[in-house]
């Protein structure tokens, strides 16, 4: 068991499937009370039923400020505090530059960058009053650059900068802000990728295989725990080494 997660209140966005569901399970196993948030609320009840902890499920679009404010309000009304925020919800709308529409750009920025900004802002007063808090942003190894993902990579690069800036701004309130950068992980998001694109990504993978959602959940749990207390403003790549450079065999 990790230190200091017992009875902590954790909001996880995009908790309905994939990485967000795994993070919710892991934080629940560590004794946290979990607030499961997703734009697609259908799957949240099933996940909540599995968990052996107090839960709250909220249907919200994190790119909408009124939804986000309501999410924090409901959490405080139910549990009285917010200890952990995991900004996990994210989307892809891939395409080469010439084919990316303005809508593809705006949607990805709204969910992947504006959403986490709104969520961080919404929990800030509560965490400041508590004089403690942990924020973990799920970015992507793609923030370093990835062909066909100009919008996605830029959104995650923006989220890296937001992470580092808020780490500086919020440290004085004992709020840690870190990011986890997953590599290629087996989830519904990657299952929906074109076969050819997935095969290309696997060829570039040092481990030759995808990571699991539990690999990401473990990193998030560590950064959310007391064990990560002096870690602030860091980007933890969980990618089987892919961020270390080009693979030439
Ligand atoms: N799967 C990977 O290989 C991979 C790699 C790097 C980074 N990531 C990042 O990890 C995070 C989770 O990815 P995943 O693969 O589990 O994705 P996923 O598509 O399987 O799940 C994302 C969840 O977010 C929810 N969501 C989407 N838009 C939302 C919104 N506006 N408001 C609230 N919820 C919303 C979806 O309904 C879904 O349940 C994302 O931020 C993604 O960019 C994933």
Please write the tens of the pLDDT for every residue from 48-102.
999 999 999 999 999 999 999 999 999 999 999 999 999 999 999 999 999 999 9
- The Å distance, Cα 7 to ligand 1 centre, comes to 26
Statement: residue 167 has pLDDT above 70: yes
Mean pLDDT of 40-44: 94
Please write the tens of the pLDDT for every residue from 100-159.
999 999 999 999 999 999 999 999 999 999 999 999 999 999 999 999 999 999 999 999
Which residue, 230, 220, 229, 152, is CA-closest to 190?
Answer: 152
Where is average pLDDT lowest: 9-18, 129-138, 195-204?
Answer: 195-204
Beta carbons within 10 angstroms of residue 220's beta carbon: 32
Please write the tens of the pLDDT for every residue from 110-121.
999 999 999 999
Statement: residue 249 has pLDDT above 60: no
Mean pLDDT of 173-179: 98
Please write the tens of the pLDDT for every residue from 177-187.
999 999 999 98
Q: Is 217:19 a contact under the CB 8 Å cutoff?
A: yes
Active-site annotation, residues: 152
Statement: residue 246 has pLDDT above 80: no
36 pairs with which residues across the strands?
A: 12, 57
Q: What percent of the chain has pLDDT over 70?
A: 99
Statement: residue 200 has pLDDT above 90: no
pLDDT for the residue numbered 189: 79
- The CA distance from 67 to 53, in Å, is 24
Give buried/exposed letters for 53-67 (b at 16+ CB in 10 A, else e): bebbbbbbbbbeeeb
User: Residues lining ligand 1, CB < 6 A?
Assistant: 13-14, 16-20, 38-40, 60-63, 88-91, 111, 115, 138, 140, 182, 184-185, 187-190
* 212, 220, 229 from 233: Cα distances, Å: 24, 14, 12
Pocket test for ligand 1, best of 69, 90, 162 (most atoms within 8 A of CB): 90
**So where are the chain's domains?**
9-181+212-238
Which residue, 54, 51, 45, is CA-closest to 75?
Answer: 54
pLDDT for the residue numbered 115: 99
Dig out the tokens for 239 from the structure.
């990618």
pLDDT for the residue numbered 247: 72
- The Å distance, Cα 172 to ligand 1 centre, comes to 30
Instruction: Classify domain 9-181+212-238 by CATH number.
Output: 3.40.50.720
- The Å distance, Cα 206 to ligand 1 centre, comes to 23
Mean pLDDT of 222-248: 93
pLDDT for the residue numbered 248: 62
Nearest ligand 1 atom to alpha carbon 62: 32
Higher pLDDT, 204 or 103: 103
Q: Which residue has its alpha carbon closest to ligand 1 atom 42?
A: 90
């Amino acid at each position: 068991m990790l230190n200091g997660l017992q009875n902590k209140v954790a909001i996880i966005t995009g908790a309905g499937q994939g990485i967000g569901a795994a993070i919710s399970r892991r934080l629940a196993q560590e004794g946290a009370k979990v607030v499961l948030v997703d734009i697609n609320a259908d799957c949240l009840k099933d996940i909540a039923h599995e968990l052996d902890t107090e839960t709250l499920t909220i249907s919200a679009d994190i790119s909408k400020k009124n939804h986000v404010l309501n999410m924090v309000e409901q959490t405080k009304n139910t549990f009285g505090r917010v200890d952990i925020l995991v900004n996990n919800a994210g989307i892809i709308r891939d395409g080469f530059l010439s084919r990316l529409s303005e809508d593809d750009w705006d949607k990805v920025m709204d969910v992947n960058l504006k959403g986490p900004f709104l969520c961080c802002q919404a929990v800030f007063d509560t965490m400041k009053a508590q004089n403690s808090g942990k924020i973990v942003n799920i970015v992507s190894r793609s923030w370093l650059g990835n062909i066909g993902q100009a919008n996605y990579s830029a959104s995650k690069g923006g989220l890296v900068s937001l992470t580092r800036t808020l780490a500086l701004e919020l440290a004085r309130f004992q709020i840690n802000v870190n990011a986890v950068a997953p590599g290629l992980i087996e989830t519904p998001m990657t299952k929906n990728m074109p076969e050819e694109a997935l095969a290309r990504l696997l060829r570039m993978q040092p481990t030759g295989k995808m990571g699991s959602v539990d690999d990401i959940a473990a990193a998030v749990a560590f950064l959310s725990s007391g064990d990560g207390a002096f870690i602030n403003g860091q980007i933890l790549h969980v990618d089987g080494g892919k961020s270390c450079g080009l693979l030439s065999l």
